[in-house]
Amino acid sequence: MRKNKHLIVLILSVLFLSIFSSLLAADIFNLSYTLTEGGYQLELNSVNLYRGISLSVDTNIGKRYEIIQRIIQPLASRDNPGVIIQDNFVVRGISGSNRFGNLRFSTGDIAVRSEDIIYVSDTAGDADNFSLVYGLINAENLQPGYYSGRISFILNPISSSQQQITRILEVYVSIADSGQGKPRVEINASAGSKSITLNPKKEKNQMQGEVVIKINSTARRQFSIFQFVPEPIESEDGTILDNEAVSFIVKNAEKGTSASMVTALTFNPEKIYTSGIDGSADNSLVVTYLLGDLRDKKSGKYKSRIQYFWEEAGVQTKIDNLELVIDNERIFNLTVTPADQKYEIEFRDLKPLGQPKSSEVILEVTSNTGKPYQISQEISGGLVNKEGVEIPAKYFTLRTENINAKANLKFLEKQDVKKGNTILFVSDSKGAPAKIKVIYELTSPMEIMAGDYSANVTYSLLEM
């Protein structure tokens, strides 16, 4: 009986040791970090420009590994997401903080970049830890405000089948107003607005608009300013205006070079200014936007945007964007120009069996409605002299000639002029502008009474 009891104890002991040994043999592959100031988010501001962080790898797999830095979300302004901190956000390694592997970051500040390999372990894959310092340089050149972003640290196995381990670091930056209260570059249209408004009517003096670019801080190397139209210039009904309808020219550049020739807008990024090689730049530039001829363009309010970028060392940073508004007001006019500058059809000094006499009228339509139209004439009475004697209609004819019209004319041959309403011209389906000539002719029969004859004609323009 006593032997059985000892046997049971022995079996239980062996089972316990087996479980304990398997637990001890479990693979460990982990990454963690701690901030020098405590907490779990990196906070930088105009006073505390640098903060430290310590990364620690715990592993027992005996295989090489590396740690990669990745930018998940760049440091973007809360109030203006287009403003991003890039080269001013830096990192450096602390020499001697690691024991075994290779800390690849130097002790000097370098810009934070995505996919940078921070650390590579030794060949034995020993556990290790090391320290980094993140910070801001030239903070005085940054636009005041609050910025946030995210960085991840990735523990990546080099020669094993372990899963990657990712740790995320939240980054917050607060840039106080230094007293000047000015961003690096300010871009504004007339009267400080954020809209460039153009109108083809010359009397409104809006065929051109000016944008002022103020450069408030210097750069340490050459930079350029680009503009970009990201979307078509489009009206509310979907009509698209060619970019070539708007051109621009840059003035006031002395220290740098600018787009000093009148150039049409395009959908491609356009360099409008480049500083000196050493970063020296003009304090203020004026970009003038010029509106082209829109007489053949459909009426409507067209809108788009112009974005402005700062490019330095191959890196672009969005500065701002302005709304582009082109108000092409409705035009629907008929201009009547008699050849003799008299606003009636008149035939003077008629004699029996005399030579036929003619009277010409030029009708010109300017229209941008995009809709078809017609020109009509209304003759309330016949062709009469001062005594009221009327010439028979068969001696009074008209025909039309094309000066500049896309549609076919209705009266290419002579037709009797009829009292009442007569449609002289019908436009094409798009209502293109047109210019035609109406030629009235009067022949003198034997029975005509000599003298002067005239008729009142009213011309009208009607949208169909």
Same domain, 349 and 417: yes
Higher pLDDT among residues 340 and 68, named by residue: 68
Look at residue 44 and tell me if it is in a domain.
yes
Q: pLDDT above 90 covers what percent of the chain? A: 50
Which 3 state secondary structure label does DSSP give 417? coil
pLDDT score at 202: 62
Same domain, 31 and 158: yes
What one-character-per-residue DSSP string does 92-154 give? EE-TT--SSSEE-S-SS-EE--TTEEEEE--TT---EEEEEEEEESSGGGSPSEEEEEEEEEE
Which 3 state secondary structure label does DSSP give 51? strand
Is pLDDT of 455 > 90? no
Here the CATH number for the domain that contains residue 313 is 2.60.40
Same domain, 279 and 238: yes
Give the pLDDT confidence of 259-300 residue by residue, as tens digits: 989 999 988 899 999 999 888 899 999 999 999 888 778 899
Q: Give the Cα separation of 190 and 143 in Å (integer).
A: 22
Same domain, 349 and 324: no
Look at residue 413 and tell me if it is in a domain.
yes
Same domain, 386 and 299: no
Same domain, 263 and 193: yes
Q: Give the Cα separation of 168 and 151 in Å (integer).
A: 6
CA angle 143, 147, 153 (to 5 degrees): 130
Same domain, 317 and 342: no
Q: Which domain range does residue 207 map to?
A: 185-328
Same domain, 65 and 128: yes
Here the CATH number for the domain that contains residue 149 is 2.60.40.2410
State mean pLDDT over 54-78.
Answer: 95
pLDDT score at 23: 44
* Number of compact structural domains in the chain: 3
Question: Which of 279, 307, 328 is a domain's end point?
Answer: 328
Give the pLDDT confidence of 343-353 residue by residue, as tens digits: 568 888 888 88
Same domain, 338 and 200: no
pLDDT score at 345: 80
Higher pLDDT among residues 193 and 65, named by residue: 65
Look at residue 22 and tell me if it is in a domain.
no
Question: Which of 148, 175, 202 is a domain's end point?
Answer: 175
Same domain, 338 and 320: no
Look at residue 15 and tell me if it is in a domain.
no
State mean pLDDT over 334-359.
Answer: 82
Same domain, 200 and 127: no
pLDDT score at 218: 67
CA angle 54, 59, 64 (to 5 degrees): 95
Residue 71's pLDDT band (cuts 50, 70, 90): very high
Question: Which of 153, 175, 197 is a domain's end point?
Answer: 175
Look at residue 9 and tell me if it is in a domain.
no
pLDDT score at 47: 80
Q: Give the Cα separation of 335 and 337 in Å (integer).
A: 6
Look at residue 317 and tell me if it is in a domain.
yes
Look at residue 395 and tell me if it is in a domain.
yes
Q: Give the Cα separation of 165 and 365 in Å (integer).
A: 74
Same domain, 127 and 220: no
Look at residue 48 and tell me if it is in a domain.
yes
